[in-house]
Structure 1
Amino acid sequence: MREMNSINIDSTIKRLLSYATSELKVDEEYRKYISLPNRKLYSTEANGRIISCIGIEIYNSKNSVIKHIAVLPKERGNGIGSSMIKFVCREHNLRSISAETDKDAVLFYANFGFHITNLGEKYPGTERFLCKFDVK
């Protein structure tokens, strides 16, 4: 995995981030990864091209939140998302990691072993879930 720290956003990273946030917020979110020391964005490559990314916000020395995680659609189901979570946990020696997500991604987190809490309809018409994992 490679940390993204270039001022210029790669078009594939831009597309991946758009899967995890609104397209209108992609540039703003990317700027946060470049400018804030507690935000880290990593990418995974295969055959010389970027296929996934994970962005975290580190709250203290042992706890972090997944802000964005995305894998190109044709690469999904191959364990890439799980590998990225394991990487950031090792890289930052985390004790716990969490994420807030929607119905579409909650099964991914549950399958990894995250404890799922239904937050209800946090936004009109959108059910949200808090996913928390204690690293062993």
Structure 2
Amino acid sequence: MKQVLRVDMDPVVKQLLGYAASEHNVDSECNKYKNSPHRKLFGLEKQGIAIGCMGVELNRLMECEIKHIAVSPDYRNQGAGRQMVSFLYSWPFIQLITAETDRTAVQFYRKLGFTMESLGEKYPGVERFKCTKLLK
């Protein structure tokens, strides 16, 4: 994993981010990663090709929130998402990881040991979940 420093310049990263953020929000999200000292965007490469990205926000001391996680369709279900989340486990100052997701990703987070809490229908017809993992 490496930090993506020029997210606005890399169309591959923008395409990956588009899998996690709605297409009309990609530029806005890229600007947030570029301009906020609390947001970091990381890319996962395989043989020099970007195959996934994960964006996090450092909310409070010892807590981070996964804002976006996406894997190229050709590399899904091969452990790339798990590898990106596991990268956060190595940060010595992180004790709590959270993420908000919809029903399609609940199993992914559950398999990684996160607990789920329904946030109800935040958008018409879409139930959202808060996923939480305490590390220490």
Q: TM-score, normalised by structure 2?
A: 0.94
What is the RMSD computed on CA atoms of the aligned residues? Answer: 1.3
The equivalent of 2:111 in structure 1 is: 111
CA offsets 1:43-100 (integer angstroms, 9 cap, x no match): 0111211000000000123001000000111211121111111212323631010000
Equivalent runs, 1:84-103 vs 2, <5 Å: 84-91=84-91, 93-103=93-103
In structure 1, the partner of 2:124 is 124
- Residue of structure 1 in register with 2:54 after alignment: 54
Residues 84-134 of structure 1 show CA distances to partners (whole Å, capped at 9, x for unaligned) of 112123236310100000111111001111000111211111111110011
Task: Output the CA distance in 2 between the equivalents of 1:32 and 1:66.
Answer: 14
Compared CA separation, residues 72 and 92, structure 1 to 2 (3 A): farther
Unmatched segments (≥5 aa) in structure 1: none
Following superposition, the deviation at residue 7 of structure 1 comes to 5.7
Q: Which runs of 4+ in 1 moved over 6 A?
A: none
CA contact (8 A) 1:9 1:30 kept: no
Identity of aligned residues (%): 43
Distance 1:92 1:57 in 2: 16
CA contact (8 A) 1:33 1:39 kept: yes
When normalised by structure 1's length, the TM-score is 0.94
> Taking structure 1 as reference, are residues 51 and 29 closer, same or farther at Cα in structure 2, changes over 3 Å only?
same
Structure 2 gaps of 5+ residues are none
Q: Aligned to 2:19, what secondary structure does the other structure show?
A: helix
